[in-house]
Amino acid sequence: MAGDLPPESGAPPASAPPPASKPSVRVFQCPGCGATLNIKAVGQTITVGCGSCGATLDTSREDVQLVEKGQVLKRRIDLPIGTRGQFEGSVFEILGVMGRHDEASGYAWKEYLLFNPYQGFRWLSEAGGQWSYVSPLKGVPKVDDSISFKTGMKPRAELGGRTFVHFQNSVGIVDFVIGEFYWRVRKGDKSKLADYVDPPDLLSCETNESERIWTRCTYLTPEAVGAAFRLPNPLPYAIGVAPNQPNPYLERWRGLRDTWFLFTIAILVLFVLHKIRSPHQELFEESLHYEPTATAAEKVVRLGPYEITGNGNFELDLHADLNNSYFDADVDLVNDSTGEAHDMQVGAEYWSGYDSDGSWSEGSTSGDDLETGIGPGTYHLVITPSAANGANTPTPVSYRLKGVRGVSVGSNFFLAWLILSVYPLFTFFRSSAFESERWSNSDYAPSDSGDGDDWSSDD
Amino acid sequence: MQKFYLYFGTLLIFLAAVASSRGYSLWSSVTTGRFSPTGPRAYHK
């Protein structure tokens, strides 16, 4: 790109220069410390950061100029300069590493410049162990800056049929440069950055006074980066959630959601059918009285006979006039033909009174019992009741007993639905928590200030 | 996992339907502590 002066202020030029037709290496000595440095992207590299003394050098001309002296600081560089890795089917070599931080938050990240003589330049961006493969964008996205707190609409960028939602604006400041760069860059250079996400991709718009550059950042796991470079040791594990990190629970939730919805419909349909088909035949409803002073034989109540057709269940419903007392009844449901009896029990207790907080009550005046496996036949009931007050003194009680056969049992369906809802709900909440953590790092994170323009406001 | 959920859910709904058609109530069993009908016994007056 003869005659073109690359832009200042840290931003790479809009288009990287075309790759050299013949790879070659230029060797020179750092004017700051005398260390031997190589330039691999000959004809393209115009800035070199010396890894030994931290100096920034201008290599655009034959005589290397010292732009700025640097400091030798211990920095964690996961991928040393010269490391080679495979991306998009080609081998790229790391030429340079640049460290930047956000002016407002101090959030720091590194950018590794990759070079292939035939494919050109790419980058790897890393922050907190989260990686992205950065490539120049073909085309300019259509940006819509509309924003609405009411509807939750954020600015968006549209490209290739995809919608990328605005994540954050920041100002990136260069902290250090080591290695080769094809544009003029030095410590302290600033660029405005605007990020739009549609995981696993992020569109980043970098702007300075003279131009605007769009890049696509595709999320990579540390394992994928390690595999690309065939590193002997694993890279540091990722911390937190990256803006473009795919949500592993979202796809799972979407799949489960559809199945769970189908299950809910199936359960509802089956329940309604079961309800319609249940005979719910009332066999008797009797008003009875328990008198504690009666003889043992007089206390026992016999009801029936009742005819039961078909197999199914039998339910006893009790309502008792209780006043700080309890009522229990042992009930034998006896098949007159076979002489077999089913044991049932119904009971109720009700207590009430006044204390310093006012009136109180506890318990219920009704109870029930359900017996299953009742076959067809003629049955009678043998009821042995008992009742007492709080002092355990037997007390007379009037009660009403109803017997129904073939009651619908909807609780089985409800229990099945509850059990089947646990895993989808758990996945939904995990997915939501993942998204909350993602967006907690954005410009739209809920704030505690309660200001009128709070993104979480209901206005 | 999705396939397991599908098979498990289908089986669970089938069991719920069968239990309800026979008049069994799992909830009632849990609350009364009687998980299976002990069956009728011979009645002695």
Instruction: List chain A residues with CB under 8 Å of B31.
Output: none
Taking the CA of residue A332 and the nearest CA in chain B, the distance in Å comes to 8
Q: Assess: ipTM above 0.85.
A: no
Candidates B12, B28, B43; nearest CB to A332: B43
Residue A313 φ/ψ, nearest 5 degrees: -120, 175
Instruction: Match 């085309």 to its residue by tokens.
Output: A139
> Measured in whole angstroms, how far is the alpha carbon of residue A12 from the centre of its chain?
36
- Per-residue pLDDT of chain A (459 residues), as tens digits, is 333 333 334 456 555 655 555 556 888 888 888 888 888 888 888 888 887 787 888 888 788 888 877 766 667 788 988 999 999 999 999 999 999 999 998 999 999 999 998 999 999 999 999 999 999 998 899 998 877 777 778 899 999 999 999 999 999 999 988 898 988 888 889 999 999 999 999 999 999 777 889 999 999 999 999 999 999 999 999 999 999 999 999 989 988 999 999 999 999 999 999 999 998 999 999 999 999 998 888 889 999 899 998 888 999 999 999 999 999 999 999 999 888 899 999 999 999 999 999 999 999 999 999 888 888 899 999 999 999 998 889 999 999 999 999 998 888 999 999 999 999 999 999 999 999 999 998 999 877 544 444 444 333
Instruction: List chain B residues with CB under 8 Å of A342.
Output: 37, 40
Helices marked H in A117-247: 222-229
Please tell me whether residue A44 adopts helix, strand or coil conformation. coil
pTM of the entire structure?
0.72
Candidates B1, B5, B39; nearest CB to A373: B39
Measured between CA atoms, the residue of chain A closest to residue B6 is: A259
Peptide bond into A305 cis (omega under 30): yes
CA A448 to CA A228: how far, in whole Å? 42
- Inter-chain Cβ pairs, chain A and chain B, closer than 8 A: 107
Candidates A252, A373, A413; nearest CB to B20: A413
Q: Do B43 and A341 touch (CB under 8 A)?
A: yes
Task: List residues bridging with A131 in a β-sheet.
Answer: A126, A220
CA A297 to CA A93: how far, in whole Å? 100
Q: Do A411 and B43 touch (CB under 8 A)?
A: no
Closest-CA residue to A382 (of B44, B10, B13): B44
Instruction: List chain A residues with CB under 8 Å of B4.
Output: none
Instruction: List chain A residues with CB under 8 Å of B5.
Output: 256, 259, 420, 423
Residue A83: which residues within 8 A CB-CB, separation 6 or more? A93, A94, A229
CA distances from A382 to A39, A343, B41 (A): 102, 10, 14
